[in-house]
Amino acid sequence: MNQKDVAISVQQFAIFVSFYIIGSAVILIPSLLIIQAKQDAWVSALLAMVIAVMLTFGYGKLIQMFPDKTLIEMNEAVFGKWIGKAISLLYVTYFVFLTALVTRTLGDFMVTQILVQTPMEVIHLLFLLVGVMGVRLGLEVLARTAEIFFPPVLMFCILVILFLLPNYEVENFQPILENSILSIWKGTWTFLGIPIFDLIVLLMITPYIKKEERPRLQRGFLIGTIGGCAVVSIFLVLCLAVLGVDFTSRNTYPTYILGKRIAIGHFLERIEGIVAILWVMTIFFKMTICYFASVLALAQIFRLRDYKCLILPLCYTIMVYSIISIPNMSYFRMIALHYWTFYVAIFGAVFPLLLFFTAKFRQLSAKKEQ
């Protein structure tokens, strides 16, 4: 089976992008950002959104240069066989690590808030097994699944926003811009690490977008990015407005607490379970896309005809990695706050820039190949 026969539409891609940004960021970002930028965290989020849009244009340029190539194939085409493969292998470690971390995010969340006595391994296993199924069935099925889940996710997001209306307190934002530019930038920097720079992973699936829809790809990418960032930012603002600076920064999963705060009269309450499902859904797509990218990247590096034989072995790797990569909660928060973005920036900014300029320099592009 030639994998490039698979085709998804731009609309499906845009939904992927949105889910990809929302998943895991929406439960991690509010408290991480508010710790750093206090009541001005929304400024950090807006700033990050602007950078995300710029980044989307940058990635769009790369896609335009090599519309039929995945990131891994681009590396090889531009840097040559050996250096290209070496960089690609680095990318594979990053993809696998990211998949493991996303899985772990979900595991930690479930074990802290909902299934307290359940071993995290069980949650990871069940979650990954669904991922295995998704990746085996291929990109088209995943894309259609995302399309089906999109309306309910959107609807619940809007409902949560509306149901919380009675609890908004504008005072929580005052005084505006009290904190230094540095602390606001620190918040933005964290947001860039989770999840903006991760968008590079999506370059693994752009070649599968239908040929006739390619001209609209840039627009779809942009809409997806803005939509995803907007949802995360809105929930960040909700946390600020409803829970306040102090409470949000002290809580591990403030967006879940938001669900607990919903109480319309005495009948519409205790719906935090639904809010949790919302996040699980989006995290699932982020995990599966990363998983798919890891499998595909590895297959392309070693020029395998079919990537399916890699699915299960990688599942074991991710499973183990998701458990051992983070010893405890405070380690995770330390990494996320201080180090993670530097690591991701290498893959999300440095290598793509290098790729872009080397390609320009060597005057390689799709046109010339033809």
Nearer to other proteins, 262 or 293 (CB): 262
Nearer to other proteins, 228 or 254 (CB): 254
Please report how close the Cβ of residue 332 comes to other proteins at its closest, in angstroms. Answer: 17
Which of these, 168, 191, 140, lies nearest to 1 by C-alpha position? 140
Please report how close the Cβ of residue 78 comes to other proteins at its closest, in angstroms. Answer: 43
Phi and psi torsions of 269, nearest 5°? -145, 180
Q: Is the Cβ–Cβ distance between 307 and 138 less than 8 Å?
A: no
Paired tokens of 163: 């149901």
Please report how close the Cβ of residue 125 comes to other proteins at its closest, in angstroms. Answer: 9
Nearer to other proteins, 5 or 171 (CB): 171
Q: Which position has the token pair 């990746």?
A: 135
Nearer to other proteins, 115 or 154 (CB): 115
Three-state SS string over 144-202 comes to HHHHHHHHHHHHHHHHHHHHCHHHCCHHHHCCCCCCCHHHHHHHHHHHHHCCHHHHHHH
Give the footprint of other proteins on this chain (CB under 8 A).
Answer: 112-118, 122, 126, 171, 174-175, 178, 243-244, 246-247, 250, 257, 260-261, 263, 269-270
Nearer to other proteins, 80 or 119 (CB): 119
Which of these, 245, 235, 193, lies nearest to 35 by C-alpha position? 245
Please report how close the Cβ of residue 179 comes to other proteins at its closest, in angstroms. Answer: 10
Nearer to other proteins, 169 or 369 (CB): 169
Please report how close the Cβ of residue 290 comes to other proteins at its closest, in angstroms. Answer: 24
Nearer to other proteins, 6 or 263 (CB): 263
Q: Is the Cβ–Cβ distance between 156 and 275 less than 8 Å?
A: yes
Which of these, 139, 124, 3, lies nearest to 69 by C-alpha position? 3
Nearer to other proteins, 238 or 257 (CB): 257
Please report how close the Cβ of residue 29 comes to other proteins at its closest, in angstroms. Answer: 20
Beta partners for residue 8, in sequence order: 209
Number of helices (H) and strands (E) in the chain: give both, helices first: 17, 2
Paired tokens of 148: 């089906």
Beta partners for residue 264, in sequence order: 268
Please report how close the Cβ of residue 190 comes to other proteins at its closest, in angstroms. Answer: 23
Which of these, 349, 52, 48, lies nearest to 225 by C-alpha position? 52
Q: Which residues of 297-316 are buried (b: 16+ CB within 10 A; e: fewer)?
A: bbbbbeeeeebeebbeebbe
Please report how close the Cβ of residue 180 comes to other proteins at its closest, in angstroms. Answer: 12
